[in-house]
Structure 1
Amino acid sequence: MNSRVIKLILSYLAALLISSVSGTQYLFSAYSTSLADQLRFSSVQINTIGSAANYGVYLCKPLFGYIVDNYGGRRTTLFASFAVFTGYFLLAMTYNGTLSNSSFLLCALYVFISGMASSAGLVSSLVTIAKNVTSFRGIAFGAPMALFGLTAAIYSEIDTLWFKNDTYLVVPIPNNKDEVVEEGISSNTSTHDQDERLPLLQHKTEEEIDIGGWDLFYNHDAKILAVSMFCVAGTGLMYINNVGTIIKSLYYNSTHPHVSPLEEIQKIQNLHVFYLSVFSCLGRFTFGILSDLAKILFNLPRLWFFMLSGIWLLIAQILILFYAVDLNKLFIVTFFVGFGFGNIYAITPTIVSEWFGIKRFGLNWGIIAAVPAFGGQLFNLLFGLNYDQHKDHCSGAHCYNVVFYLSSIACLFSVLSSLSLLYTIHKKH
């Protein structure tokens, strides 16, 4: 095995490791209700904090994508290690009263910093893979995205098993990612950023596509993809951020609540966060493999799988409106949201790399991936406003169900948009 192949393997393993600790924003529902109760935040305020985490993850991707495209990934992973600790440490100090200022805006800033760390870590991993892997990209992108989705499961299980659901201790310990990246990406004889930006596999089998910058904003396919991401990923983020609140509403609507309701609610919240993470991981990994096989064997456009993601989320919205009226039935909603949300992030980076090229993949993916932050903010705000109208001793599905009618329409619009784009692609060929 020559040194180039060894470097390629180490680089990919480093990218997987970084991805596996970069999805901590999906933990928010595990501690959101405890944070709201401890610091007396309203539903709109706690949703603002959850949206700030999403903003940190999604809005910073274009910036970090540009940095990694032009300067390599080591700086971003070093920043990620520092920022993820700083954000969660400050949030923990606010939660336990060490920091006297408990403004919800400051808490939003802390999770925004942690979200930036997640963005930096994941983007550096994906750009490295995009430049190093020239075939089977569905699988290549699916694995790190799957591990990214599994982060919440890892930490929620740690909380349940070792910390007895103590919200104060749900603080991720940063992985020393910069050392791994140094080992995985750089060689023993070169530490120059220019060398880091060179792909390990140099051969090209076809003419390089290069669409980016303002051309991306004017590209019809990019606009359809962005609008669909706004609708589908935005509704997914709303459920992920608010499943803890939904669980609390349904729990108090039950006939015989547990003797220690707060402890029981925390366990159920952790369980749903765990399942969201696991199903997201499965969705990311399986769709990566299936999209590769479908493309190789049947020349099936990957956009079919993107449309399926919208269908899974649409089913989830319908189920929560007309079926999941108690806690026992909520798990099926969690399954569809987790699996569908994972599908989106398995297939979209691959689509971006194939439609617009890898030369500016970091920036292009960062721009497309920033869109869900706005969708998440909109639907989170709507959820918070809907819930606050019923917050005084409210229990049951009527506390929040109005917003899911709107999210259902958004998911349906995304599916129809993808279908129209598929029809256009079919006519061209």
Structure 2
Amino acid sequence: MNLRIISFLAALLISSVCGTQYLFSAYSTKLAERLDFSSIQINTIGSAANYGVYLGKPIFGYVADNFGGKRPFFAAFIIFIGYFCLAMTYEGNLTPSFLLCAFYMFIAGMASAAGLMSSLVIVAKNVTSFRGISLGAPIALSGLSAAIFSELNNIWFQDDTYHFLLFLATSTGLCILIGSWFLIVVPPPIINRETTVVSFEEGNSSSCNHNSEIIEQNNKFEDTPLLQNKVKEEINIGGWDFINNNDAKLLAITMFFFSGAGLMYINNVGTIIKSLYFSHSSDLSVLPPIYELQNSHVFVLSIFSCLGRLSIGFISDMARLLLKIPRLTFFILSGVWIFLAQLLIIFYVDDLYKLMVVTIFVGFGFGNLYAITPIIISEWFGIKNFGSNWGIIACVPAFGGQLFNLLFGYNNDQRQRSDCLFYKKNKQ
């Protein structure tokens, strides 16, 4: 098999396990119950995984821009250690400290960022045409990680959180380790220049033109942008110029609120399901177990996030080409999906059956957001510093997610205290 294809498949394998931070809601309530963590503490643990991913992206983006793609062998061991230690803590074999649990999730997130960024850089180096599609595939697969593992949790582990966390540690570590062996930069084919000269001397103009085109393509191998736009190729804004750029600041602030609201729901949908489950008016015996509902929502979130990532690039391309609609419109639209989800959960959702609509909106909007933003960055600021620029913007959601998660945790803790006091008062 062609080495380029093998390397691309290895990138897909690694990417498919680099989005497991979105799986947290599938086991967060069990973790909180077993270790007696409050809502704020469990939200801090969930946010730590996001911090690891988002703060890791600027680091590994910079490394990718300046040193090229590297095989992420170390990421395999780090992600294994993170989830393995979390499983041992859950089982009672390690100190049940929420700060240590947050650290375990943080390093697992860092490993995910390293694996994904390395995969994207090597794919970009190996694929000189259709880069939008080739880069979109690993990005979409990373969004599908949670769906894959939540379904496996449903089928194989059901309510066995300890063994599921062990499986998560082993499978993610092995996939990144195996993929790293085959994740290589394949040099462009060497052109036989003598053949070109002979063809020219014989007057074979078609052969000469063909070989000239190949040579020209290979000369542009390292510098071909994701978007074929000669005007945009000249743009090169990075470093402090990027940080001080007003457009970049506006993009970062908007990303803070859009992604923060989305991450709040993603990290806490398990808690929301649990609250709605016990407030359900009908007989609880007719409802599926809580873990099945949690896994179902994580699965749907992941599926629609993947669909959002796959579709928005093509749709925005066609809209700009045929209707002259700028890509920024679709960035705003992604925020509209997430905002509508928040309105639905306030004014529409009053039972478990209606919550799935919110999950679909958040998943699709979040997927749109994470696919359209890097494209906008590459067009507005150039591709020479794309890894570093996207890494800087990609770390903003860690802060937005933390703020919104803390607000949710504080509100949930206050609500539980009021319900408890109300129950005691009525009992007396």
The DSSP-based 3-state class of the residue aligned with 2:284 is: coil
CA distance 1:287–1:203, shift in 2 (3 Å): closer
CA distance 1:244–1:160, shift in 2 (3 Å): same
Task: State the partner residue of 1:15.
Answer: 11
What are the residue-to-residue correspondences of 1:182-221 with 2, within 5 Å? 182-187=181-186, 200=221, 202=223, 206=230, 207-221=233-247
Q: Distance in 2 between matches of 1:60 and 1:328?
A: 37
Q: Distance in 2 between matches of 1:233 and 1:382?
A: 15
Structure 1 vs Structure 2: percent identity of aligned residues?
61
- Answer yes or no: is the 8 Å Cα contact 1:130–1:361 preserved in 2: no
AA partner of residue 250 (structure 2): I
Superposed CA RMSD: 2.5
AA partner of residue 383 (structure 2): I
Spell out, residue by residue over 1:38-57, the C-alpha distance to the aligned partner (whole angstroms, 9 max, x if none): 00000010011111111011
Q: Point out the more displaced range, 164-173 or 213-222.
A: 164-173
CA distance 1:199–1:371, shift in 2 (3 Å): farther
Task: State the partner residue of 2:212.
Answer: none
**Offset at 1:304?**
1.3
Alignment of 1:168 onto 2:194: no
The DSSP-based 3-state class of the residue aligned with 2:116 is: helix
The DSSP-based 3-state class of the residue aligned with 2:300 is: helix
**Offset at 1:178?**
4.6
Q: Computing the radius of gyration over CA atoms, which structure comes out larger, 1 or 2? A: 2
Residue number among 334, 339, 360 corresponding to 1:335 in the alignment: 360
Residue number among 297, 301, 316 corresponding to 2:326 in the alignment: 301
Alignment of 1:40 onto 2:36: yes
CA distance 1:176–1:150, shift in 2 (3 Å): closer
What are the residue-to-residue correspondences of 1:144-293 with 2, within 5 Å? 144-171=138-165, 172=168, 173-174=171-172, 175-187=174-186, 200=221, 202=223, 206=230, 207-259=233-285, 264-293=289-318
Spell out, residue by residue over 1:285-314, the C-alpha distance to the aligned partner (whole angstroms, 9 max, x if none): 011221222233334321111111011001
- Answer yes or no: is the 8 Å Cα contact 1:141–1:349 preserved in 2: no
Q: Distance in 2 between matches of 1:189 and 1:227?
A: 41
For structure 1, the residue ranges without an aligned partner over 5 or more in a row are 191-197, 396-429
AA partner of residue 85 (structure 1): F
TM-score normalised by L of structure 2: 0.83
The DSSP-based 3-state class of the residue aligned with 1:119 is: helix
Q: Distance in 1 between matches of 2:138 and 2:38?
A: 35
Q: Point out the more displaced range, 212-221 or 263-272.
A: 263-272
- Answer yes or no: is the 8 Å Cα contact 2:122–2:185 preserved in 1: no
Q: Distance in 2 between matches of 1:131 and 1:221?
A: 28
- Answer yes or no: is the 8 Å Cα contact 2:123–2:134 preserved in 1: yes
TM-score normalised by L of structure 1: 0.83
- Answer yes or no: is the 8 Å Cα contact 1:132–1:199 preserved in 2: no
- Answer yes or no: is the 8 Å Cα contact 1:249–1:394 preserved in 2: no
Pairs aligned (count)? 381
Q: Distance in 1 between matches of 2:53 and 2:4?
A: 27
Residue number among 320, 328, 331 corresponding to 2:345 in the alignment: 320
